[in-house]
Amino acid sequence: MQARFDPPPESGADESPAQPNPRRDFLRRGAAAGGLLAATGIGAARAAAADADAPLAVPPWTRAPGAPTGGQPYGQPSAFEKHVVRHLRPNDKQYISSSTRSPLQELDGIITPNGLFYERHHGGVPAIDPAEHRLAVHGLVDSPLLFTVDDLRRFPSESHIYFLECSGNPGYNVYGKTAAEANGLVSCAEWTGVPLRTVLAEAGVQSQAKWVAAEGADAAAMTRSIPLEKCLDDALLVYGQNGERLRPEQGYPLRLLLPGYEGNMSIKWLRRLHVTDAPVYSREETSKYTDLMPDGSARRFTFYMEAKSIITAPSGGQRLAQQGFHEIRGIAWSGRGKIARVEVSVDDGATWHDAALQEPVLSRAITRFRFPWNWQGQATVIQSRATDETGYVQPTLEALVAVRGVNGVYHNNAITPWRVAATGEITNARIKAT
Amino acid sequence: MQARFDPPPESGADESPAQPNPRRDFLRRGAAAGGLLAATGIGAARAAAADADAPLAVPPWTRAPGAPTGGQPYGQPSAFEKHVVRHLRPNDKQYISSSTRSPLQELDGIITPNGLFYERHHGGVPAIDPAEHRLAVHGLVDSPLLFTVDDLRRFPSESHIYFLECSGNPGYNVYGKTAAEANGLVSCAEWTGVPLRTVLAEAGVQSQAKWVAAEGADAAAMTRSIPLEKCLDDALLVYGQNGERLRPEQGYPLRLLLPGYEGNMSIKWLRRLHVTDAPVYSREETSKYTDLMPDGSARRFTFYMEAKSIITAPSGGQRLAQQGFHEIRGIAWSGRGKIARVEVSVDDGATWHDAALQEPVLSRAITRFRFPWNWQGQATVIQSRATDETGYVQPTLEALVAVRGVNGVYHNNAITPWRVAATGEITNARIKAT
């Protein structure tokens, strides 16, 4: 079939609702039967022509063979998507406390591609030869054991889709201009590995054991104490992420994965599991990752990340090009289990409406939500509020601060409100309008 | 915690079951309490030392800061995984009929990472500027329409995890040495896009319409006729794959996705939907992608890919390093819906046993199955057999040939048997032993 059509009209200024647009007007008449176009003004859609056989230009890329098959043995994104990268915060203190954020505003669905999965490092990204890597299990066990990665791959395996979130997402730095800046320290993937309980059973955990200290092989020797109950529940020794081996920045060749726990406890580049009868009180569970309360006391060991959500489209830095239908899209997650409900407000919190949840809704995984919105050009604030299966409801920032004060920087699961200007510009509502 | 340990013993020849191995022997004694190690001889696992406080060397990558955070705005696999790439068949006829295969034997879980998703092209891979791309909907519609990609992104969206498989996977070329060569023209991803029925409703499909001809913007102008019922059911206009935008080789910026249908019908680089009252009988549904029967007649329009499975580990080209426990892992899928059951045989088909299916089991998605096997060093053949929710059972190649003969090359969903030699070497059982 070599249909020949006229060149399609260029997209551009003629789509501004402020100007007359014959094509859009034609469309609105023509599509009356349809409804969504007319009712919501997806005005950029155009009649190809009054005559269905009228010519549509054959584009240049149809006129010559494309790139050879297999030219990229490991495929890469289109050159037109170079702007979709992880966000590196300016002036990050490399090797001490550094991170990159997933570009949430550019993503769809619930799976974060490995190349865009958020990063949080305390000593940079080590380049580990998997043949030389070892995992030691010792302490209060009958048989101290040492494993290669290949040893662990031989154990019975499981695969689960779980989110991972940094407990400092976003901290009380809630002024991020984009969804990535505001809440991009969360991602979701399908993880494959060995249940930790299987390996602990091989070592034979002794009766006085209550904690397991996990240590990474990075330059920070990142170390956290984990309650034994979690290690015997759903903890995984992970070597696979989204089908392939872990990426270096995600702990290659081996990491711990503690579903629902704050991300830093899922120790990357895992080299040691020390079974103990008490926490080791490492730097990362005393001077860091504790919540400093108004009375100056530090709340230790906040393991589970509470229910949270954020609207990713439309979101900060984006613009509503015209009035009419816009699907509000976002993500929700809870360390406590499944997301039960997400509500959306498009009138600065005056009223709330249930959003649709994309199936499958999985425990401790990101859930995608959507809400249809017909924007009439008014200035307003849009926001989302998640409820998990325990009945816990995502709080406002004001409610969080009333309890915790402003000393703390971790475990901020507050609602993120986006301001919509009459121009269609979207900004973080916490940034005072100028 | 700065534990100081001795260097761990090197892994290597001492793991051969043929030689005495003091460490393994120690382990088998030491881990008696455990069970899996002793019972199944994951002999490479070793006691770290009789003294749990004995030294484990601090590896070089712990002694110096790692690579800077954000050094890769779009992350890449470890340099130690360079061998995990798509398989390009030697002497492929570029621009005519070319493909690459997913390295199934290297993958875990159900999600195929975008960089390793199989490719099948008929005119190479076009480099399309999304701002210049258009989709035309015309023919038997009330309002012919023309859309930009941004137009389509504004419509209500859905995300679903579906497999995609080439109808020529593996064809009757069933002698592939590896899982990739034998059946690597199948992959699975989370797709995001607009239900095609939504867009057709906008155009207003006329009463005499029965088919939709979809045309790609590649150099082959790849064209297929699709029954209107499928277009109004679960067909998607897809722009997102595994969270990010489609890759060029998967149809960037827009493709059709027909869940469960043979892959070539999910037209990539989609530029045109022509609503008609009959098939257009394109090259790809007459001279290609039809099944030539023993009587010389060609069976046209075989849409759904039937139930299929393959063991990916251990599989061709791999080797069982030692006797004892090995988890048999594989994937199963059906264009008809959910996988209901996967059976595994480890005795050349004499007996079959149910494998465990990894949840969630999703309709028209890959399902991961696993079966525990204690190999005692015998030469044998291992294979898997899938049953889907319709009750259909994956056939043997012999059963397929008895019905279809050997003229055809498409829609071969036969069982793939792997031969296990006493040496532990795994080969394709269809290749005569030498």
Query: Following DSSP, what letter does each residue of A62-117 receive, concatenated?
Result: GSS--BPTTS-SS----GGGTT--PEEPTT-BTTTBEEEE--GGG--SSPPPGGG-
**A81 vs B contacts (CB less than 8 Å):** 244-245
Give me the mean pLDDT over the B295-323 stretch. 95
B126–A contact, CB cutoff 8 A: yes
| Least confident span in A359-373, A378-392, B165-179 | B165-179
* Rounded mean pLDDT, A280-295: 91
Q: Is the pLDDT of residue A38 over 70?
A: no
Give the residue on A whose Cα is nearest the Cα of B95.
Answer: A65
Which are the contacts of A171, defined by CB distance < 8 A and separation ≥ 6?
A: A409, A410, A412
Q: Determine whether the interchain pair A116/B74 forms a contact, defined as Cβ–Cβ distance below 8 Å.
A: yes
The Cα B258–Cα B201 span in angstroms is 18
Average pLDDT over residues B319-344: 97
The torsion angles phi and psi of A40, rounded to 5 degrees, stand at: -115, -10
| Range of lowest pLDDT (A48-62, A153-167, A234-248, A293-307) | A48-62
Is the pLDDT reported for residue B124 higher than 70? yes
Residue B272 at interface with chain A, using a CB cutoff of 8 Å: yes
Residue B333 has pLDDT above 60, yes or no: yes
Do residue A131 and residue B248 have CB atoms under 8 angstroms apart? no
pLDDT of A391 strictly over 70: yes
* Among the partner residues A65, A92, A240, nearest to B108 by beta-carbon distance: A240
Cβ-based contacts of A48 with chain B (< 8 Å): 136-138, 144-146
Is A84 near chain B, with CB under 8 Å? yes
Least confident of A170-174, A305-309, B216-220, B397-401: A170-174
* Residue A27 confidence (pLDDT) above 50: no
Q: What is the pLDDT of residue B52?
A: 43
Q: ipTM of the predicted structure?
A: 0.90
Res. B186 pLDDT band, cuts 50 70 90: very high
Tell me what pLDDT residue B97 has.
77
Contact of B209 with chain A, judged by CB distance below 8 Å, is answered with no
Chain A contacts of B49, Cβ < 8 Å? 144
Average pLDDT over residues A394-423: 94
B204 touches chain A (CB under 8 A): yes
Q: How would DSSP label each residue in A107-144?
A: --SSPPPGGG--EEESS-B----TTT--EEEEESBSS-
B155 Cβ under 8 Å from any chain A Cβ = yes
B294 SS3 class: coil
Task: Name the more confident of B337 and A89.
Answer: B337
- Residues in chain B closer than 8 A to A67 (CB atoms): 124-127, 248
User: pLDDT averaged over chain B?
Assistant: 88
**Residue B35, pLDDT score:** 55
Chain A, residues 50-69, CB within 8 A of chain B, namely 52-53, 56, 59, 61-69
The band of B36, judged by pLDDT with boundaries at 50, 70 and 90, is low
Average pLDDT over residues A360-367: 98
Q: Are residues A75 and B360, on separate chains, in Cβ contact within 8 Å?
A: no
Q: Provide the pLDDT for residue B44.
A: 41
Cβ atoms of B429 and B189 within 8 Å: the answer is: no
d(CA B394, nearest CA chain A) in Å: 24
pLDDT above 80 for A36: no
Comparing alpha-carbon positions, the chain A residue that sits nearest to B33 is A204
| Residue A29 confidence (pLDDT) | 33
Is residue A2 scored above 80 in pLDDT?
Answer: no
Does residue B232 belong to the interface with chain A, where contact is any CB pair within 8 Å? no
pLDDT score of B115: 98
Q: Within the 157-196 window of chain A, which residues sit less than 8 Å (CB to CB) from chain B?
A: 157-159, 190-192
What is the nearest CA distance from A71 to chain B, expressed in angstroms? Answer: 9
Give the residue on A whose Cα is nearest the Cα of B62: A219
Q: Do A218 and B11 touch (CB under 8 A)?
A: no
Per-residue pLDDT, B174: 85
B361 touching chain A per CB within 8 A:
no
pLDDT at B91: 76
Question: Buried b / exposed e across B26-48, counting CB within 10 Å, b at 16+?
Answer: ebbebbeebebbbebbbbbbbbb
- Consecutive H or E run containing B401: helix B397-404
Q: Does B255 touch chain A (CB under 8 A)?
A: no
Average pLDDT over residues B92-119: 91
pLDDT tens for B154-177 read 999 999 999 999 999 997 678 899
Q: Which two tokens stand for residue A363?
A: 């425990």
pLDDT value of residue A252: 98
What would the pLDDT profile of B394-430 be if each residue is shown by its tens digit? Answer: 999 999 999 988 888 899 999 999 999 999 999 999 9
> CA A374 to CA A114: how far, in whole Å?
34
The neighbour count for residue A347, using CB atoms within 10 Å, is: 12
Over 70: is that where the pLDDT of B40 sits?
no
Q: What is the pLDDT of residue B30?
A: 35
CB under 8 Å to B322, separation ≥6 — which residues? B15, B16, B17, B41, B43, B44, B424
pLDDT of residue B56: 76
Residue ranges and CATH numbers for the domains of chain A are: 87-299 (3.90.420.10), 308-428 (2.60.40.650)
Confidence label for A17 from pLDDT (cuts 50, 70 and 90): very low
Among A161, A184, A171, A182, smallest CA distance to A107 is for: A184
Show which of residues 319-348 on chain A sit within 8 Å of chain B, judged by CB atoms: 325-327, 329
What pLDDT, on the 0 to 100 scale, is given for residue B433?
A: 61
Instruction: State the nearest Cα–Cα gap between A312 and chain B, in angstroms.
Output: 13
| Tens digits of residue pLDDT in A196-207 | 999 999 999 999
The residue of chain B nearest to residue A327, with distances taken between CA atoms, is B156
Nearest to B69 among A68, A92, A127 (CB): A92
Could you tell me if A127 lies within 8 Å of chain B, comparing CB atoms? Answer: yes
CA of B400 vs chain A CAs: smallest distance (Å) = 31
- A293-334: pLDDT as tens digits: 899 898 999 999 999 999 999 999 999 999 999 999 999 999
What is the C-alpha to C-alpha distance for residues A418 and A352, in angstroms, rounded to an integer?
A: 15
Nearest to A77 among B148, B156, B245 (CB): B245
* pLDDT tens per residue, range B256-276: 999 999 999 999 999 999 999
